[in-house]
Amino acid sequence: MVRRLFGPAKREVAVIGQGTWEMESHDRGAVIAALRRGIDLGMTHIDTAEMYGSGIVEKWIGEAITGRREKVFLVSKVLPQNASRKGTVDACEKSLARLKTEYLDCYLLHWPGRHPLKQTIEAFEELQRAGKIRSWGVSNFDVSDLEAAWKIAGAGRLACNQVLYHLKERAIEHAVIPWCERHDVAVVAYSPFGSGHFPELRTQGGRVLQEIADARGATARQVALRFLVHRPSLFAIPKAVNEAHQVENAGAAKVVLTAADLARIDQAFPRGPRRRKLPVL
């Protein structure tokens, strides 16, 4: 697995990790086995949230990482409605209890909400001082939200921004990624396969991916994932319960794409104009 520095968190993190949204709709044993297999394959960056299955997913992750906690870069998220100063601390403690761990590697605000951001950031700082989180970040933040966070927290505090990014949704390339790169903030691509809308082989884009995959001894999904993380600020967190999918996704880190491959993908999946609002799922 390829690892790289995760913004200012001073940690080397796997470029391909594991998403866990909606895992509660699968069999518990299958989910735990898939997460463990993913860790063994090097996908040690595990993304979750208090929202996922209303805490069920965090509990299952707690079981999956028992005995392997030190290998994992564990990320969870507080819901915006809980993100007051006290609410954030309480939510984190509940997540830690469900995850059966003493600390999170990174704790995120799931999306901007009604509580003043200053309160949430103060809670994150308090949690970090107490050793309950090792870093903190945000999710679904556009440039104006990022600027606001930066103004409150100062340099070197914000570890990451987790945002929607896949081949058919490249809007963050206009301003969000450049802002994060200028400020040394990691960018985590969520729904990297379009959450069930991966380009099909019968489409022109799907054929381009397959041709590149054939030339590189890879699969179309591996080529797509590799494209998404080709910039050094980027990480991706595909969700997979199926074991063959886990193996395929982990293998993406090894795929080597040439400048010509990147240019072909860029052309086949144009990033389109800058949006007025940050796309979210």
Residue 20 C-beta: closest distance to ligand NAP, Å: 5
- Closest residue by Cα to residue 39 from 6, 1, 9, 93: 1
- 187 versus 240: smaller Cβ distance to ligand NAP: 240
DSSP state string for 186-253: EEEEESTTTTT-PPPTTSHHHHHHHHHHHHHT--HHHHHHHHHT-STTEEE-----SHHHHHHHHHGG
Residue 9 C-beta: closest distance to ligand NAP, Å: 17
Map the footprint of ligand NAP across residues 213-272, applying CB under 6 A: 221, 237-242, 245, 248-249
Q: Which of 139, 185, 205, 208 contacts ligand NAP by CB under 6 A?
A: 139
- 87 versus 251: smaller Cβ distance to ligand NAP: 251
Q: By CB under 6 A, tell whether 119 contacts ligand NAP.
A: no
Q: By CB under 6 A, tell whether 112 contacts ligand NAP.
A: no
Count Cα neighbours of 107 within 13 Å in the Cβ-side half-sphere. 32
- 87 versus 238: smaller Cβ distance to ligand NAP: 238
Applying CB under 6 A, the span of 82-90, 113-121, 149-157, 184-192 interacting with ligand NAP comes to 184-192
Helices (H), the chain: 28-40, 56-64, 85-99, 117-129, 143-153, 176-182, 204-216, 220-228, 243-251, 259-268
Q: By CB under 6 A, tell whether 195 contacts ligand NAP.
A: yes
Residue 48 C-beta: closest distance to ligand NAP, Å: 6
Count Cα neighbours of 280 within 13 Å in the Cβ-side half-sphere. 11
Binding mask 12-51 for ligand NAP (x = CB under 6 A): -------xxx-------------------------x----
> How distant, in Å, are the alpha carbons of 117, 139, 154, 173, 180 from that of 143?
14, 12, 15, 12, 9
Residues that bind ligand NAP (CB under 6 A): 19-21, 47, 110, 139-140, 162, 190-196, 221, 237-242, 245, 248-249, 281
